[in-house]
Structure 1
Amino acid sequence: MATDWEEPATLIDLDGTAPFIGKLGDCIRHFVAFKPHAKADARILLTRPVAREGRKTRTWVLNPDEIAALAVDLPKA
Structure 2
Amino acid sequence: MQTAVPWDQPATLIDLAGKAPLISTIATCVRHFGALKAEHQVQARILLTAPTAREGQRTRTWLLDPKEIEALFIQLRNEGW
Give the TM-score of the pair, scaled to structure 1. Answer: 0.95
SS in 1 for 2:24: strand
Residue 73 of structure 1: aligned partner: 75
Residue 37 of structure 1: aligned partner: 39
Give the TM-score of the pair, scaled to structure 2. Answer: 0.91
1:13-47 deviation line (CA, Å, top 9, x unaligned)? 10101000000000000000000000000000000
Residue 16 of structure 1: aligned partner: 18
Q: Which amino acid is the alignment partner of residue 80 of structure 2?
A: K
Which 4+ residue blocks in structure 1 deviate beyond 6 angstroms?
none
Q: Which amino acid is the alignment partner of residue 34 of structure 1?
A: L
Q: Aligned partners of 1:13, 1:60: CA distance in 2, in Å?
A: 15
Q: Which amino acid is the alignment partner of residue 19 of structure 1?
A: P
Identity %: 53
Runs (5+) with no aligned partner, structure 2: none
